[in-house]
Every structure is written in C-alpha cells, then in structure tokens.
Amino acid sequence: MTAPAKALSEIWGSTAVEAEYAGHPGLVLEPRPGSLGEMLSGTSRWAERTYLVQGERRISFAEFLAAIPRAGEILAGHGVGPGDHVLVIGYNSPDWVLALWGCWQLGAVPILGNRWWGDGEIRHALDVSGPALVLSDFPDPAAHGLDGAVPISDLAAAYAGEPLADLESVPRGLPVPDEDAPAVVIFTSGSSGAPKGVVLSHRSVVANQHNLLARSRRLPTDLDGDAPEPVTLVCTPLFHIGGISNLLTNLIIGGKLVLNEGRFDPAQILRLIETEKVQSFGGVPTMAIRVLEHPDFESYDLSSLRSWPLGGAPVPASLLERMARQLPQLERRGLGNTWGMSESGGFLTVAGNRDLAQRPSTVGRPYPVAELRIHEPDEAGTGEILVRSPTVMLGYLGIDDGTVDADGWLHTGDLGHLDSDGYLYLDGRSKEIVIRGGENIACAHVELALAQHPDVVEVAVFGTPHPDLGEELAAVVVHREGSVAPSPEGLREFLKGTLAYFAIPTRWSIRTERLPTLAGEKTDKKALKAEFAAAAGAGSDPDAMKRG
C-alpha cells in the first residue's frame, strides 16, 4: 500500500487537539503526516541543493532521494523483508543515513547500534533484536561477533545511476504501515547496566519532527524555496534520537547537513563551522565547553553561526553567558536549552534566550503535544517528571517493565518541578540522588553550583559508599589549564551559602584531564565511580582523590 498524493497544507498543521492514540487520550497536531512517506512530500523541490557533506563527499537531495529505493533493493538482495530487524552499527556517514531509509523502504525495522560498544554489548544487542541482517563498518566484523555482516559502504553503490525524472515517486513509494507499528530501535547509553532497546513507532518518529518544525516555525508550508539553504553541523551520533531528528529535519526543510569525521574533536568542529558556513550547531554542554576552551578558538571565523542549542544535561548560566560573550551574535537569540530522552522519542521542552535570561537553568516549556506532570511532589514541588506525547516509545525491546503506564505516561526517572508559568526545571535523576545520613542530595543541583566557580571547566558529582552515613558525596572537578588548581577547602568555601552543609562534597578529584564520556559526549559517571572505588580498594587515598 502506498500513500496518495496530498497538498502540503493537507499534511502539515500547527493546531494541537485532544485525540486518542495507542489506546489512550492525548494531544496531536492536525493535520499531520500519516507516514514517513507523507513526511517527505515536497522534498523534491530541494533537488539541486546539497543534503549531506562529509569530508570530500557531497550528496545532493536528488542523489539521496533516488538512492532510497536502490538501497532497498540492495537490502532485499540480502534477504531483508517487511518487519525484519536490521542491526546498523557504524560511525556517522552518508551510507549510514541511507541504511536507515533503505530499511524503511522495505518496511524493515532498523536497530541502531552504538559504534563505541564493547563486544559484550554487541552480543547483547544481537540477542535482544535477532536481526535478519547486520550492516557494519568494522574492518573485521567477525572479530566482534558479527559473522556475515554486510559492509555499510556497500550501500554507496545506490548513489550511482541515472537521475530519477520523478523524485516525488520516492515518498509515494514508501510503505504506509500502522502508525503504532515499530519504526526504529535506539539504545540507551547503558551507563548503569546493559543498554536497553527503545522501540519507537512510526507515529513517534513523525510526531517528533512535526513538534520541532511547528515550534520553530519551519513547517514545509512556511518555507520559502528561494531562501538561502540552512546549514547544520552534526557531531552527535546519528544513532541517538538527536541525530535522527537532525537528519530528518534537514531532509524535510532542504537543509545541508554537515557530518564530522571520527570522534568529537573541537578543532575539527571549529574548522567545519568556518569552511562550511555553518548556521546551527547543537550538542551537549560538554561539547560547548570543549569548543569554547580550544586554544585556537579566536583564530576561526565563526560569524555564520546563528544557533547553538544545548541539551542532554543541565546548562549552567555561566556557560550560556560565556557562549554569548565569545559569540556576540548569539546574545539575543540562537542559544537554547532542550530536554528529552531516548524513551520520549525526542525533545519535550525548549527554552530560548529570553526564557534563560528570565529563568536561569530552566529547560523551558513543553513542545505543542507534550504533556507534563510532576508525580508525588515533595514540599518544594519536586517529584518524578511524567510525560505523555505521541512521540513516547512503545516500550523496551523484550522488556515490559511499566515504564510507560496504561494511560500513556512515561515515567522518566528525572526529577523536576514546574513554576507557575509552566516552565520546567530539572532537579536530577531519581537514580542520581545521594542519600547522605538520611538527607537527599540531587547531584545535578551540586554540579550547577560548582560550575559557577570561575576556574571550573567541567564537573561531575556522584555518591560513594560511606560506613556510617551510607553514602558521601564525591566531586570530580576539571579546572582550566594554566590556572592554579582550586583546593577542596577553597571549593567548599565557595559553596557555603549556596548549598546546605550536607550537600557540599566531601571527596574530591581535582585535575585538568577531561571527564570521560559516553557516545554523544555525556559524562561517563560509571567510569568515574570506578576510579574512586579502585583507589579505595587499593587502600590508598591519593592526592588526586582527597577528602576535605
């Protein structure tokens, strides 16, 4: 079954209405695309523009759209059919993007693996997903337990061939499954256990894009085909929800998507912004810090940059102030903070410059169809954040643990509170609450306070075992190179008056070495906890890990 042709005004609307989906009530945008194919309607108008850039490779919209059915044929030749799982595990590349759409062309479900996984995590993903085919860019897939894997680079052949006379035949030729059928599986970071496969429906993928475009006033019906092409730099992994959102957004709006090569490198990011005239670059706060701290920052022409949204972690006011200071064109608009997660299928709230100036540390108000509520709030109004949205996951692959309840509410595990105007503030993870002698301490709250210190570049706070208190608070502080290292005593003094005495860390690691990160540059607290545990197990308390 293929989708009938519709006018863009019949596909994209900006009115949120009450409806029922997945067997429960909620909000949806009307009208809305009913499938991935409808979501791509009208993209043929961007045919002459460049869609993907990586190194010397440049793929036009015409080349990419024409390659989608050819990629489907290549995968079908390897036995892939409707409903099959295809494990895709590779670094960001134009071929990776095509693998995603090649699966959708066949009605298959791409299972997006993390290229930085160890072999044990790869085995786990194979066990839970049972793929009919594996696409990989490992030089020796068999060495990682991926016997019979097909190189992702084989899909590059789909870019060759005669141009298509009717590019609109591509979106019309995509299958139209049930909106609540699985569309893609992405994995959680696995920072506190084996990665979980998050199953997102076709409804989820489409609704997330609709939410983003409606809020930013970039619906296809709003676009001027003669306007300059927007340019976005993506260095977060495409196998994360933010990466998927970026590649779909730019395909819909006719934007050029610039991909970095290899792991995150601040120097490469600065060079790409300058040479490709990047207008938008997003990421997590750690990425922003490392770009701003690069010793050659001032030598690059970054005047093209107009938007630098952040997400994935609380954003200190001092970081936003620094971004505006080093990039004055962002002082009035272009900065932002967002909140979302794999399980939510995308972004849930957003705050712009004015919001952040008036309400420091907020992550903003909900996107059009996201509903929020605080579960069992305490005296201060803080409790677990529950979310209902058509973007929310169907569940975890092979696990039914009630994370999404019968009424469609996702239990996020994040703690937060809402102000009187509906702005959300994050107060930490329910699993990142340290209980010290009966007192609850939100790690995120302490991290934000420490980040205000003028010599602190990065910080991570977590709990470590204590024989009497149950837990004590540990902080790993990265200070600016060239500055005098702050002492535990000095940091404790800095925090007095800002934090309660029991929320001030008692164990410290103060260094210039950057914090370890997971894919996507989120801090790897599991690794940091292991460092402290190893020091304790060795019966030593080295200078780098002081009590104070």
3-class SS of residue 200: strand
Q: Which residues contact 357 (CB under 8 A, 6 or more apart)?
A: none
CATH number at residue 518: 3.30.300.30
In terms of domains, do 276 and 376 share one? Answer: yes
**429 assigned to some structural domain:** no
Residue 334 resides in a domain: yes
Among 389, 367, 364, 348, smallest CA distance to 27 is for 389
Token pair of 520, please? 């996507």
Model pLDDT, residue 520 = 61
- Tally of domains in the chain: 2
Same domain, residue pair 319 and 365? yes
- CA within 13 Å, CB half, 93: 19
- Residue 540: pLDDT band (50, 70, 90) is very low
CB 413 within 8 A of CB 342: no
Please give the C-alpha separations between residue 168 and each of 35, 43, 47, 110, 457, in angstroms, as whole numbers. Answer: 15, 8, 10, 23, 49
**Final residue before a domain boundary, out of 354, 388, 418:** 418
Nearest to 187 by CA among 429, 526, 520: 520
Confidence of residue 543 (pLDDT cuts 50, 70, 90): very low
Running DSSP on this structure, what letter comes out for residue 499? B
For the cut 80, the answer to whether the pLDDT of residue 518 exceeds it is: no
273: domain CATH number is 3.40.50.12780
Burial 227-250 (b: 16+ CB within 10 A, else e): eebbbbbbbbbbbbbbbbbbbbbb
- Same domain, yes or no, for 457 and 414? no
CA 354 to mean position of chain CA atoms = 23
Separation of alpha carbons 104 and 3, rounded Å? 14
pTM: 0.84
> What pLDDT score does 517 carry?
83
- The closest of 96, 77, 82 to 182, measured between CA atoms, is 82
Nearest to 155 by CA among 42, 57, 252: 57
163 pLDDT above the threshold of 70: yes
Among 366, 389, 418, give the residue marking a domain's end. Answer: 418
Backbone CA torsion sign across 392, 397, 403, 407: positive
What is the percent of the chain with per-residue pLDDT over 70, rounded to a whole number? 94
Same structural domain, 450 and 326: no
Count of beta carbons in the 10 Å neighbourhood of residue 502: 16
DSSP label at residue 175: B
Q: Are residues 203 and 284 in the same domain?
A: yes
User: Is 303 within the bounds of a domain?
Assistant: yes
Q: At residue 404, does pLDDT exceed 90? A: yes
537 pLDDT band, cuts 50/70/90, is low
The answer, yes or no, to whether the previous bond of 31 is cis (omega within 30 of 0) is: yes
**Whole-number average pLDDT of the chain:** 91
Residues 444 and 414 in one domain: no
pLDDT of the residue at 442 = 76
One-letter identity of residue 310: L
Can you read off the two tokens belonging to residue 168? 């609109």
Structural element, H or E, at residue 123: helix 119-129
Q: What is the pLDDT of residue 226?
A: 87
| Mean pLDDT of the 104-122 span | 92
Backbone angles phi, psi at 518, to 5 degrees: -90, 175
For residues 217-237, give the mean pLDDT: 93
Helix (H) / strand (E) element for 285: namely: helix 285-292
Whether residues 253 and 122 share a domain: the answer is yes
Whether residues 385 and 297 share a domain: the answer is: yes
Residues 222 and 141 in one domain: yes
Read off the pLDDT of residues 360-395 as tens digits, 9 standing for 90 and up.
889 999 999 999 999 999 999 999 999 999 999 999
Residue 3: phi and psi, rounded to 5, are -80, 140
Helix, strand, or coil (residue 354): helix
Q: Do the domain assignments include residue 431?
A: no
Residues 127 and 230 in one domain: yes
**pLDDT above 70: residue 142:** yes
| Segment 265-309, tens digit of pLDDT | 999 999 999 999 999 998 888 789 899 999 999 999 999 999 999
Q: What is the pLDDT of residues 429-482, one digit of tens each?
A: 776 778 787 666 878 888 988 999 999 999 999 988 887 677 889 999 999 888
pLDDT given at position 542: 40
424 within some domain: no
349 lies in the same domain as 464: no
Instruction: Compute CA distances 363 → 338, 388, 419, whole Å.
Output: 5, 17, 12
The answer as to whether 430 is a domain residue is no
- For 347-356, what is each residue's pLDDT tens digit? 999 999 999 9
Residue 91 lies in a domain: yes
- pLDDT above 60 for 544: no
Query: Is position 426 within any domain?
Result: no
Quote the CA–CA distance of 135 and 477 in Å, as a whole number: 40
Mean of the pLDDT values across residues 96-120?
94
Is residue 62's pLDDT more than 60?
A: yes
Q: Looking at the structure, do residues 101 and 208 belong to the same domain, yes or no?
A: yes
Tell how strand 424-429 and strand 362-366 pair up. antiparallel
Maximum CA pair distance of the chain? 74
Which structural domain range is residue 463 located in?
Answer: 437-547
- How do residues 206-221 score in pLDDT, each as one tens digit? 999 999 999 999 999 9
Question: What average pLDDT does range 187-194 have in this prediction?
Answer: 66
Q: In this predicted structure, what is the pLDDT of residue 180?
A: 96
Radius of gyration of the chain (CA): 23
**Alpha-carbon gap, residue 475 to 511, rounded angstroms:** 11
Quick one: average pLDDT of 503-526?
85
**pLDDT for residue 402 is more than 90:** no
* Angle between helical axes of 488-495 and 443-450 (0-180°, round to 10): 100
CA dihedral 260, 262, 265, 268 (to 10 degrees): -40
pLDDT of residue 533: 78
Query: Which pLDDT band, with edges at 50, 70 and 90, does 519 fall under?
Result: low
